[in-house]
Amino acid sequence: MTVISAGGDQEAIEHHAQVAKLSTRGRHIVAPTTDHYPHLADPTPALREIRRILAQTREGEPGHDVGRIPGAVATR
């Protein structure tokens, strides 16, 4: 799980960091924007994280078993 926070609100950033820690593979990213919708204001961090997850999935990294995701198709 990846949680992306907007910069600026320290209380929200700390809360989001705790949420990300709920997953053994959780990650927390603070975007370089204070906009409430950081993925819309600056999609770069979200796109970078999606690409990172896809690359790990394609490399067969443990924990990314697409066979358990309904409708997912493994490609190689």
Report residue 59's pLDDT band, with 50, 70 and 90 as the boundaries.
confident
Tens-place pLDDT, residues 14-42: 999 999 999 998 999 999 999 999 999 99
| Nearest CA-CA partner of 42 in 4, 14, 3 | 4
Does 12 have pLDDT greater than 50?
A: yes
Does 76 have pLDDT greater than 50?
A: no
Does 48 have pLDDT greater than 90?
A: yes
Cβ distance 4 to 46 under 8 Å? yes
